[in-house]
Amino acid sequence: MTTGATLLGSSGPLQNAYDVALLDLDGVVYRGALGVPHAPEAVIGARAAGMRVMYVTNNAARAPQTVADHLTELDIPTRADEVTTAAQAAAALVASEADATTRVLTIGGDGLRQAMLAEGLTVVASADDAPTVVVQGFAPTLGWTDLAEAVYAIRAGAGYIASNLDATLPTDRGMAPGNGSLVAAVVHATGVTPRSTGKPQASIFHQAARRSDAERPLVVGDRLDTDIAGARAAGYPSLHVLTGVDQITEVLRAVPGERPTFLAADLRGLAHAHPEPHRRQGAWTCGAAAARVDDATLILTRVGGELTLTAGSDPTTVSLDEFRAAAAAAWAASDAVGTARADTSVLPADFPPLRLASE
Ligand SMILES: [Mg+2]
């Protein structure tokens, strides 16, 4: 299943059109310890409509049961087999290449070690135990002695796999170093670059789809460079929600490989039909909304006149259909001039923040 790099339509609710939602967690279902508003009702409603859910997370420190318990506490009853972690994706890769001599040194939390054991792999605790592969995942307790162990083993010839390469990790005090930043220290000391299995790699999504017997999976996420890029890489359609990291302006400026298929404010978008934008006489329309992009300017056609938005404009409220029409217009304009990178989108980096009108 492949999709083009623009928005599609769905004449019925997404939860009827797709059989499994591959849901991101942070910024979609919860933010830190707190649930995202409307998420429990939306997930329960999607299940009642026949859609199954599989959570897909780059967090390699927490075991699936721990994630399931957290979701259950947030009023979303969840089983461990409805969670796919980057640790499981890494373990699946190691297992697919393993033979009788394979010995895994895990540098990370208990979730990472448990994932290797669940694949029947032999796990060792030290570079002195002659590991054949090092697998590194984030844990808040990781220190110099752990990184040194990885370096000893890799310099002695062990293979190297990272659960994910996220540079940062959101915490309640701001952004902290993520797994990719700790991996960078090991890369610096060894000159060896690991293979990664977490988002935005396709493999974690393919594994999640396989584990949930998905025939028509829909990826749901808040980050363009992990969730949505991974969906594109996997060949699955995606729904972007605005409850986490990336907001409307980031979506409008997205490069082709990071463009979602559907747009919604939050998970309630699963229960809705999604009108498809169409090009009409130089503008893009969606429902009653119309937008066009001229150079670095977005122009929304509204009753009573046009609204012109460019660098330095005031923050503005738009409807969901205006957001869809604007995304289609901005992407088509960027494609027309052949831009390949976010910092060369036709819309400038200081394009004003847009907010969704509550509907
Ligand atoms: Mg997220």
* Catalytic hit among 19, 24, 222, 321: 24
Same domain, 186 and 113: yes
Distance 80 CA to ligand 1 centre (A): 19
Q: Is residue 147 domain-resident?
A: yes
For the cut 90, the answer to whether the pLDDT of residue 281 exceeds it is: no
Distance 223 CA to ligand 1 centre (A): 6
Position with higher pLDDT, 59 vs 329: 329
Q: Is residue 1 domain-resident?
A: no
Strands 168-171, 174-177: parallel, antiparallel or unpaired by DSSP? antiparallel
Q: Is residue 105 domain-resident?
A: yes
Position with higher pLDDT, 5 vs 248: 248
Same domain, 350 and 293: yes
Same domain, 223 and 306: no
Taking alpha carbons only, the member of 55, 152, 146, 76 closest to residue 108 is 146
Indicate the SS3 state at residue 217.
strand
Q: Give the residue numbers spanning the domain of 54.
A: 14-58+200-271
pLDDT over 90, % of the chain = 85
For the cut 60, the answer to whether the pLDDT of residue 341 exceeds it is: no
Q: Is residue 188 domain-resident?
A: yes
For the cut 90, the answer to whether the pLDDT of residue 340 exceeds it is: no
Looking at 227, 248, 271, the residue that finishes a domain is: 271
Residues 6+ positions from 302 with CB-CB distance below 8 Å: none
Residue carrying structure tokens 């994706």:
89
Same domain, 298 and 347: yes
Same domain, 192 and 204: no
pLDDT over 70, % of the chain = 97
Distance 136 CA to ligand 1 centre (A): 21
Please state, in angstroms and rounded to a whole number, the distance separating the CA atoms of residues 90 and 196. Answer: 8
Looking at 238, 271, 304, the residue that finishes a domain is: 271
Same domain, 155 and 237: no
Q: Is residue 69 domain-resident?
A: no
Same domain, 252 and 297: no
Q: What is the pLDDT of residue 344?
A: 66
HEC profile of 68-81 = HHHHHHCCCCCCHH
Mean residue pLDDT of the chain comes to 94
Q: What is the pLDDT of residue 343?
A: 54
Q: Is residue 91 domain-resident?
A: yes
Distance 297 CA to ligand 1 centre (A): 29
For the cut 50, the answer to whether the pLDDT of residue 183 exceeds it is: yes
Q: What is the mean pLDDT of residues 234-246?
A: 96
Strands 30-31, 34-35: parallel, antiparallel or unpaired by DSSP? antiparallel
Please state, in angstroms and rounded to a whole number, the distance separating the CA atoms of residues 280 and 76. Answer: 43
Q: Is residue 291 domain-resident?
A: yes
The sign of the CA dihedral 318, 323, 327, 333 is: negative
188-214 b/e (C-beta count within 10 Å ≥ 16 → b): eebebebebbbbbbbbbbbbbbebbeb
* Catalytic hit among 19, 26, 128, 172: 26
Q: Report the CATH number that the domain containing residue 99 is assigned in CATH.
A: 3.40.50.1000
Distance 132 CA to ligand 1 centre (A): 33
Same domain, 351 and 331: yes
Q: Is residue 352 domain-resident?
A: yes
Same domain, 99 and 185: yes
In total, how many domains does the chain have?
A: 3
Position with higher pLDDT, 281 vs 207: 207
Kindly give the interhelix angle for 202-211 and 86-97, rounded to the nearest 10 degrees. 90
The pLDDT confidence band at residue 168, using thresholds 50, 70 and 90, is confident
Q: Among this protein's residues, is 146 annotated catalytic?
A: no
Distance 27 CA to ligand 1 centre (A): 4
Q: Among this protein's residues, is 213 annotated catalytic?
A: no
Same domain, 318 and 303: yes
Looking at 271, 303, 325, the residue that finishes a domain is: 271
Please state, in angstroms and rounded to a whole number, the distance separating the CA atoms of residues 230 and 343. Answer: 20
Same domain, 264 and 204: yes
For the cut 80, the answer to whether the pLDDT of residue 4 exceeds it is: no
Same domain, 175 and 106: yes
